[in-house]
Chain A
C-alpha cells in the first residue's frame, strides 16, 4: 500500500489482513465508555465530497473523530462543480490550509487518482468512492464483515478469506463496489462470482479475477456470502432490463431464493437498499442479512485505514509492525 488508498487493487494480502486486524481492535473501542483514541490528535482531515453520500461521509467523519482528528467537511453539490478546474482549485486551497489528508468522493472515475498524482496537493488521498471505478473502504468493510461472520471474530485475526465463495449480484457494470470487492476478495483468497443480466456486466470482464454467471439460482447453493448491489431504477430506461418486476424475478433475492443458500451463508448489501427490487423486505430484515453490521463495521474499518495511513511519520501500511521499543 502506498501513501494513498485509491484502489482495492493496490492492497497486498498482508496489507489487507493488517487493516482487518487493526479494524478488530478499533471495534473494541466502540464498547468502551470513551469511544475515542488519540492517534490522530492535531491532524486535519478534509472530507471532500463532490457527490452526495451522507452515509459514507458520516462513517468517515465518525472514524476521524474517534481518532481525535480535526475534521473539515466540504460538500459540493454535483452540478455546481461539473467543471473540472474546481477540483484543482479546491485541492490547492486545502493544501494551502495545511490539510493533512483528503477523503474524496467524486462522481468522476479517476478523480482521486488524479488528485493524488497531479501535484495539486501533497496530502495523502483516500478514495471514498469515484464514479464507477473504486470504493476501497467499502470493500474492506465488506471483507471485515465476511471474515467475522464466516471465519470468526477472534479466529479470523491474521487470516484471510481463503476458499470462501462470495457471490456479487446486480449492476456490476456501474458498480464501484463490485470492482473493489472483486479485487480485494481475490487478493484475500476468496472465490468470487459475479451474477448479473449480461447487459449489466462490462465488456472486458473476462480479465477480472472472478467467474461470471447470468443465473442466480444455480450460484446460490455454492455461496458463503451473497452481496446484492444496488440497481438504480433509471437503468431500466436505458434498456438494461425490461421492467423492475422482471429484474427482481430473475435477480432479486427473496426468502425462497435465500433458502437455497447454505445454512451458514450471509446476505450483504452496501446500501442503500431498494427493497422490493434487488431484495425483499423479508430477506433484508432477516438475521442472515448483515446490512446494519456493515454500517458499524464501516466505522471500524475506516478508523483502521486512517490510523495506518496517517498514524505515523510516514503513511505506509507495509511498514507497520509491532515494535519492541526501548522506550519503556
Chain B
C-alpha cells in the first residue's frame, strides 16, 4: 500500500505493546473457548500468519498443549480481483486434522472494511465446516463496509479515511510496530 513516507508515520503500538496485546488475546481465547481444546488458528497472509503463530505459542504456554495453526490465502476470493492485475498467491496451509467441527479463529493484522474477512469466510467454506468461526485482529481501525466484527481486538484505533495503518512485524519487517500515517493522495476509488 501507499503509505505516507515513514517520517510522518507515527507509532501507536511498539514491540512490547504488541506482545502484551497478544498475550491478552490468548487469554481471552482460552477463556471464551473454554480451554481452547478445539481451537484452530488460521492466519491471513502475510502478517496474519505471523500473528497466528505467535498466538499459538502463547496458547501453548497457557494450556500446555500444541494448538494447530495454519494459513488461509484469500487472494482468489477477493471481491476486487478484477480491479487489479493478478496477484501472486500466498500459501493456504490447513492443519493436518482439518477444520471440520473445530473452532476456527481467523487472525489478521488490521480490520478495516471487512472485505478481507468476508473473502476469508468464503475461502473457509471451500476448505471445510468449522463448528464456529471467530476473528482476532491486532488493530481495528473502523470504517466497516460489511456487517463484520472482531471477537478479539488488540487495539481499537479510531482513524480517518485519510490516514493509513501499517503493521510491521519482526518476521517480515525486522521490527514490531503499528504505524499511523497520512495518505499523500487519496486515489480515486480507494476503499
Chains A and B bind each other: yes
Which A residues fall within an 8 A CB radius of B?
A: 18, 21-22, 25-26, 28, 32-34, 36-39, 67, 307-317, 319-328
Known contacts A32-B127, A307-B86, A321-B87; is A328 also within 8 Å of B108 by CB? yes
Q: Which B residues, 84 to 110, have Cβ-Cβ distances below 8 Å to chain A?
A: 84-94, 108-110
Name the residue among B46, B76, B111, B113 with the largest chain A CB count within 10 angstroms. Answer: B76
Q: Is the CB of A312 within 8 A of B86?
A: yes
Question: How many interface residues does chain B have, given as a range?
Answer: 35 or more
Whether a CB of chain A sits under 8 angstroms from the CB of B82 is yes
B84 proximity list for chain A (CB < 8 A): 312-313, 323
Known contacts A314-B85, A322-B88; is A25 also within 8 Å of B126 by CB? no
B153 → A minimal CB distance (Å): 13
In angstroms, Cα B83 to Cα A309, docked, is 14
The 6 closest A-B pairs by CB, nearest first: A319-B85, A328-B112, A312-B86, A39-B76, A311-B86, A25-B89
List 17 additional contacts besides A307-B89, A320-B85; criterion CB under 8 Å. Answer: A32-B127, A36-B126, A310-B86, A311-B76, A311-B81, A312-B87, A313-B82, A313-B85, A314-B85, A320-B86, A321-B87, A322-B87, A322-B88, A323-B87, A324-B1, A325-B116, A326-B112
Q: Is the CB of A320 within 8 A of B87?
A: yes
Closest A residue by C-beta to B90: A322
Q: Is the CB of B126 within 8 A of A22?
A: no
Q: Is the CB of B77 within 8 A of A38?
A: yes
**Chain A to chain B contacts (Cβ below 8 Å), 28 pairs:** A25-B73, A25-B89, A25-B90, A25-B92, A28-B91, A37-B76, A38-B76, A38-B122, A67-B76, A307-B76, A307-B86, A307-B89, A311-B81, A315-B86, A316-B86, A320-B88, A322-B45, A322-B46, A322-B87, A325-B116, A326-B191, A327-B112, A327-B191, A328-B109, A328-B110, A328-B112, A328-B116, A328-B141
B164 proximity list for chain A (CB < 8 A): 326
Q: Is the CB of A25 within 8 A of B91?
A: yes
A36 proximity list for chain B (CB < 8 A): 126
Name the residue among B85, B111, B164 with the largest chain A CB count within 10 angstroms. Answer: B85
Q: Is the CB of B115 within 8 A of A33?
A: no
A310 proximity list for chain B (CB < 8 A): 86
Q: Which B residues, 27 to 86, have Cβ-Cβ distances below 8 Å to chain A?
A: 45-46, 73, 76-78, 80-86
